[in-house]
Structure 1
Amino acid sequence: MKKSLLSAVALTAMVAFSGSAWADVIVGVGAPITGPNAAFGAQILKGAEQAAADINAAGGINGEQIKIVVGDDVSDPKQGVSVANKFAADGVQFVVGHFNSGVSIPASEVYAENGILEITPAATNPVFTERDLWNTFRTCGRDDQQGTIAGAYLAEKFKDAKIAVIDDKTPYGQGLAEETKKAMNAAGLKEVVREGVNVGDKDFSALIAKMKEAGVTIIYWGGLHTEAGLIIRQAKDQGLQATLVSGDGIVSNELASIAGDAVEGTLNTFGPDPTLRPENKELVEKFKAAGFNPEAYTLYSYAAMQTIAAAAKAANSTDPQAVAEAMKAGKFPTVLGEISFDEKGDPKLPGYVMYEWKKGADGKYTYVQQGS
């Protein structure tokens, strides 16, 4: 009798455990949680976590709760592939991430082979969605779009400037720089310096000396805020009076911490600021009340999670391939506005706009959307 009772209890526990496991939709968040780009990783993670909490509070995805698994890729492609393989082993069905294009591209192949859908809020290199994979989506734009906007802006606003085009030799940085250069050149503006530097470089004295000799007044930077901040600061210290123009890779307030006062006047492209949308006011306040400023990719990550949930509801399924098909067929309300995707997985959203770094009333520098 005692043995039977214990067996019954054990069986009930097993069923309950299995039921709870089946009732979870497992979403991996892949991002640089540590390392030089941890600020961006925090944006992606916080956005996904808050979206998951809000979706779960409203009943989850088709009645199932979202469970988040975090993978730290440290912005390294090899580590990104390791994260992808671990996600596959952990039963992850969907991934919000990664941040870097150089990480997202190889990781997406692992996800495709293992039946996992990936939606990145930040990886902008066109190659990510140009390989005929079923599982690649993004809530951000592409570098060929961003570069077209930046190149046209440079040609219009700085037609008499001497421009240096510099990149960090990564798929993101080099790709963005080349797209911008192509658009700028097509509009009749030619660069006087074209160079590449390495991620992690600290001393840009030789590069700055070369730009001074060439009379550079505008530096177009393809890369992230870490090196950009040093270039801005060192250029000013060495007497190079040049404005740095860049892309979405510098949209972190950490840029100002690195560059100091020299950051004022820096320009960058990014999507329209979703924190300015009136319907997002309560959500923005929720983030700030929790001690987190939802800048840059935070709401792009939130939108990625929203899209997964809405497409799963439309498909009446949490099977990643069924959700992928629904994503390409439907339109979904998100914090970015209504979002739909083309056959490649690229979003149909408003294009890039220009931002300028200014000092706020609090004495701190940040990027402000022009015309806002």
Structure 2
Amino acid sequence: MLFKTKFIPLAIALAFAGSAGAQEVVKIGHVGPVSGASAHLGKDNEQAAKMAIDDLNAKGVKINGKAVKWVLVPEDDGADPKQGTAVAQKLVDAKVNGVIGHLNSGTTVPASKIYFDAGIPQISPAATTPQYTKQNFNTAFRVVANDNKLGGTLGAYAVQKLNAKKIAIIDDRTAYGQGVAEEFVKGAKKALPGVQIVGKEFTNANATDFNAILTSIKAKNPDLVFFGGMDSVGGPMLRQMKALGIKAKFMAGDGVCTEALPRLAGDGIGEGQVTCAEAGGVTADQQKGMDDFRARYKQKFNMDVQLYAPYVYDAVMTMATAMQDAKSAEPAKYLPYLAKVKYQGVTGLITFDPHGDIKDGALTLFTYKGGKKTKMEVVK
């Protein structure tokens, strides 16, 4: 009995010693559509989040001097608002320390209320609707420019640089598509008050047949067609525009501005016919860092960056930096540090305004030549 009474306290002491020295686990949720029409974009984002988590672990990034095991908790929202709120609640229940996502504005906005109620910081690497940060949720941040800048800049560019006088508008009725189209019209009218909006047509995010709306547009003979939506719809739309003999320029926001668009559009891509913008951009002095990231990404995943992978990577690293600054991964403790963070990332300096929008957000304008996405210019 004497042996037992000495052994039990020793075992307990060893157990406590082991738990005291155990690594802290920091769970970062990531949400994007890894199923459905935009799965290639969701996968692009999710892989970039994995790359950032792997880098944090490989570098042995600590919090308050203590070893940390960084863990990615990925979820699929299918670009569907209901699914988006369901997985948001799932991440809250899993007690994640922070969330990177969502990709689509239509899923980001409803999910943001769930994260706010739970006090969990959220950084979207892609959602551009102004509504996201207008809700005054102190947990909501984004690392790309919003639709006010994206759509407005494209509208001004359409009339000033592409000399568009008659413009037709098509949007997919999502929060993103409708929002960017509205801001485009405002930007075009402000830059050229006499510009004619000769038609406004609507489709949906899963449509494949646009003959009726394109036939209506063709009769109005526009110089330019602006589309608010994603590449999975924009690509087939370009094919059908060519088939109908519509020779107008085609312009769109970031949802269409992907590496996949030439594959989706086929011979409808044209040569310099499409102008689109990414809601982010790097200046010449930052280009090498972006090129190095893209090369590392391709080596790791055997595929090219599609669109927002660099912004996802920076979002994870920005969140980790705020945790290091706060010396804590507890949401309530690092949230104030996230609001004032300064992180020099692949995509440039990340710091937020009082609403959670990135300060001095840039846009990059692209076209397609020889079937390749081709950079035109960065607009601040």
| Cα pair distance change 1:15/1:97, threshold 3 Å | farther
Q: Describe how 1:188-337 pairs up with structure 2 within 5 A.
A: 188=193, 189-264=195-270, 265=272, 266-270=274-278, 271-272=280-281, 277-290=287-300, 291-337=302-348
Shift of 1:199: 1.6
Residue 250 of structure 1 aligns to a residue whose secondary structure is coil
Gaps of 5+ in 1: 360-364
CA-to-partner distance for each residue in 1:14-37, whole Å, 9 max, x for gaps?
9857975x7111100111011111
Shift of 1:132: 1.1
1:133 aligns to what?
A: 137
| Cα pair distance change 1:216/1:14, threshold 3 Å | farther
1:82 aligns to what?
A: 86
Aligned length: 366
Q: Does residue 110 in structure 1 map to residue 114 in structure 2?
A: yes
Query: In the aligned structure 2, how far is the partner of 1:14 from the partner of 1:297?
Result: 44
TM value normalised by structure 2: 0.90
Shift of 1:328: 2.1
1:30 aligns to what?
A: 31
Query: In the aligned structure 2, how far is the partner of 1:136 from the partner of 1:329?
Result: 13
Q: Does residue 65 in structure 1 map to residue 69 in structure 2?
A: yes
Matched-pair identity in %: 32
Query: In the aligned structure 2, how far is the partner of 1:17 from the partner of 1:36?
Result: 45
> Partner letter of residue 221 of structure 1?
F
Query: In the aligned structure 2, how far is the partner of 1:123 from the partner of 1:350?
Result: 13
> Partner letter of residue 182 of structure 2?
E
Query: In the aligned structure 2, how far is the partner of 1:370 from the partner of 1:86?
Result: 41
Residue 370 of structure 1 aligns to a residue whose secondary structure is strand
Query: In the aligned structure 2, how far is the partner of 1:357 from the partner of 1:198?
Result: 24
Shift of 1:13: 6.4
Contact 1:99 1:123 (C-alpha < 8 Å) held by counterparts: yes
> Partner letter of residue 56 of structure 1?
N
CA-to-partner distance for each residue in 1:67-104, whole Å, 9 max, x for gaps?
11111000000001110111011111100110001101
Contact 1:287 1:293 (C-alpha < 8 Å) held by counterparts: yes
Shift of 1:327: 2.2
Shift of 1:316: 1.6
Contact 2:164 2:224 (C-alpha < 8 Å) held by counterparts: no
1:120 aligns to what?
A: 124
Query: In the aligned structure 2, how far is the partner of 1:37 from the partner of 1:308?
Result: 25
Shift of 1:139: 0.8
1:179 aligns to what?
A: 183
TM value normalised by structure 1: 0.92
| Cα pair distance change 1:159/1:59, threshold 3 Å | same
Query: In the aligned structure 2, how far is the partner of 1:353 from the partner of 1:283?
Result: 17
Q: Describe how 1:340-355 pairs up with structure 2 within 5 A.
A: 340-355=351-366
Q: Which moved more, 1:97-106 or 1:346-355?
A: 346-355
Q: Does residue 367 in structure 1 map to residue 373 in structure 2?
A: yes
Q: Which moved more, 1:152-161 or 1:46-55?
A: 152-161
Contact 1:274 1:335 (C-alpha < 8 Å) held by counterparts: no
Q: Which moved more, 1:344-353 or 1:96-105?
A: 344-353
> Partner letter of residue 268 of structure 1?
C
Gaps of 5+ in 2: none
| Cα pair distance change 1:335/1:102, threshold 3 Å | same
When the two chains are superposed, the root-mean-square deviation of aligned CA atoms in Å is 2.4
Shift of 1:211: 0.9
> Partner letter of residue 263 of structure 1?
I
Residue 277 of structure 1 aligns to a residue whose secondary structure is helix
CA-to-partner distance for each residue in 1:161-205, whole Å, 9 max, x for gaps?
421011000100000000010111122222101111112111111
Residue 75 of structure 1 aligns to a residue whose secondary structure is coil
Q: Describe how 1:11-26 pairs up with structure 2 within 5 A.
A: 20=22, 23-26=24-27
